[in-house]
Amino acid sequence: MTVEPLTPLSVEQKLRQLVNDLARAQVVLREARDGEVDARHEYDRARRKVLLSEKSPKVTRGGFTVGEQSAWVEEQCADLKFAADKATVVREAAQDRLRVLLAQAEIVRSLGASVRQAYEMASATG
């Protein structure tokens, strides 16, 4: 892999690309947050519905325990719980992507300052 020398123009191009990537990453993160909230609400709604249904085990002395009832409810909503957990992972990945892009932008800005300084010194001596 050949590394091309940095120029002020190449740094500027990379910064422009990062600005576009950051804007896209913010949209993806916003959509992931919306998806996470929707999935969590759907799961919570389903849990309440199942818990209050006629089929739900009723907690009584000598009968079902609260733990058994909770386990039954969770089993009925397992797919929605999985979807909500998956939505959380998607949102976290989108946040991570945005953080990486922000870090890259800082690095490119620092490189840009160094490249500008090097070009200014070269033109002053040349």
Query: Looking at the domain assignment, is residue 63 inside a domain?
Result: yes
The torsion angle over the Cα atoms of residues 93, 98, 103 and 107, rounded to 10 degrees, is 130
Q: Is the pLDDT of residue 110 over 70?
A: yes
Query: Looking at the domain assignment, is residue 30 inside a domain?
Result: yes
Range of the domain at 91: 8-125
Distance in angstroms (rounded) separating the CA atoms of residues 25 and 33:
12
Question: Into how many domains does the chain fold?
Answer: 1
Instruction: Give one word for 62, left, alpha or beta, with left for phi > 0 and alpha for psi -120 to 50.
Output: left
| Residue 114 main-chain phi, psi, to 5 deg | -65, -45
Over residues 36-40, mean pLDDT? 98
pLDDT value at residue 123: 74
Distance in angstroms (rounded) separating the CA atoms of residues 98 and 71:
37
CATH of residue 38:
1.10.287
Query: Looking at the domain assignment, is residue 117 inside a domain?
Result: yes
pLDDT, one tens digit per residue, over 1-19 is 676 777 888 888 999 999 9
pLDDT, one tens digit per residue, over 58-106 is 999 999 999 999 999 999 999 999 999 999 999 999 999 999 999 999 9
Distance in angstroms (rounded) separating the CA atoms of residues 10 and 2:
15
SS3 64: strand
Query: Looking at the domain assignment, is residue 1 inside a domain?
Result: no
Query: Looking at the domain assignment, is residue 60 inside a domain?
Result: yes
Query: Looking at the domain assignment, is residue 116 inside a domain?
Result: yes
Query: Looking at the domain assignment, is residue 52 inside a domain?
Result: yes
pLDDT value at residue 126: 60
| Residue 125 main-chain phi, psi, to 5 deg | -95, -15
Distance in angstroms (rounded) separating the CA atoms of residues 44 and 81:
9
Query: Looking at the domain assignment, is residue 113 inside a domain?
Result: yes
